[in-house]
């Protein structure tokens, strides 16, 4: 694993945004796997900045987001659909039809998950998957569990994740308790992975990811088996290494 440690979140934002854009410069029709949460905000700002400065063109790019809440209106400000539009898609030129999400409002969620996998495959697979990490070691909504879930699936969120995410909602009761998420196999099939972690509360999960046993109790630890992983960490997230 390529472990890069930076002084500030700003520096990580620039480095990570440049890394994503570098992929697009090299292959204009890249397939990008994207993430939500507070971690990717600065990388997305950098991608927007490079686009606005005419450095990079996203017109041939396709995206797949990692996950979405179940039964939350996509227009709700807390849907990942809204998040991505507000923080990235509304400011760059990815054609709307190239933007893909798991539909958490699909009638048949199991079928929706199967279709999503087919779409990723039909697009040629993901070139770079951007990931955050949960304080409990989750990636996307793959929560600590007894076994790894391979493909996209419906998941009931752990209490700790509901609590972590409640900061975006008015009250914890409003946080959906289910989500649809890419599986560990979907993520592991990405050609490259860029994982970012900020802050002390990610330090234990990062230590386990890098040095620990590979176990579904820390889903991110499976990344030890991927051949092209870059980690961008601030000093706090790297403090236990
Ligand atoms: P965060 O979430 O970026 O808001 O810390 C990361 C995650 O839970 O994957």
Q: Are 180 and 67 in contact (CB under 8 A)?
A: yes
Digit-coded pLDDT (tens) for 140-158: 999 999 999 999 999 998 8
Question: What atom in ligand 1 is closest to the CA of residue 133?
Answer: 9
Neighbours of 185 (CB within 10 A): 14
- The SS3 call for residue 196 is strand
- Positions in the chain short of pLDDT 50: none
Task: Dig out the tokens for 203 from the structure.
Answer: 């330090």
Looking at the DSSP bridge assignments, the partners of residue 128 are 32, 192
Q: Is the CB of 37 under 6 A from ligand 1?
A: yes
Neighbours of 204 (CB within 10 A): 17
Give residue 200 CA to ligand 1 midpoint distance, Å.
13
Q: Is the CB of 38 under 6 A from ligand 1?
A: yes
Residue nearest to atom 1 of ligand 1 (CA): 37
Q: Quick one: which H or E segment has residue 188?
A: helix 184-188
Residue nearest to atom 2 of ligand 1 (CA): 37
pTM: 0.96
- The SS3 call for residue 233 is strand
Give residue 7 CA to ligand 1 midpoint distance, Å.
19
Give residue 40 CA to ligand 1 midpoint distance, Å.
8
Neighbours of 91 (CB within 10 A): 15
Question: What atom in ligand 1 is closest to the CA of residue 135?
Answer: 8
């Amino acid at each position: 694993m390529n472990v890069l440690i930076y002084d500030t979140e700003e520096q990580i934002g620039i480095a990570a945004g440049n890394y994503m854009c570098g992929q697009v410069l090299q292959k204009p029709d890249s397939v990008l796997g994207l993430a939500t949460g507070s971690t990717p905000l600065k990388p997305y700002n950098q991608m927007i900045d490079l686009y606005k400065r005419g450095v990079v063109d996203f017109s041939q790019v396709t995206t797949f987001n990692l996950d979405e809440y179940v039964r939350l209106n996509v227009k709700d400000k807390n849907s990942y659909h809204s998040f991505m539009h507000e923080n990235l898609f509304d400011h760059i030129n990815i054609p709307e039809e190239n933007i893909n999400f798991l539909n958490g409002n699909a009638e048949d969620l199991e079928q929706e998950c199967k279709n999503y996998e087919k779409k990723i495959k039909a697009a040629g697979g993901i070139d770079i998957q951007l990931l955050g990490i949960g304080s409990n070691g989750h990636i996307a909504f793959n929560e600590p569990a007894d076994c790894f879930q391979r493909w996209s699936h419906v998941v009931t969120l752990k209490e700790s994740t509901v609590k972590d995410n409640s900061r975006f909602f008015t009250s914890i009761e409003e946080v959906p308790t289910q989500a649809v998420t890419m599986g560990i196999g979907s993520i592991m099939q990405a050609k490259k992975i860029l994982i970012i972690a900020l802050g002390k509360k990610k330090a234990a999960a990062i230590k386990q990811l890098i040095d620990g046993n590979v176990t579904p109790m820390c889903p991110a630890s499976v990344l030890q088996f991927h051949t092209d992983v870059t980690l961008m960490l601030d000093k706090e997230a790297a403090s236990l290494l």
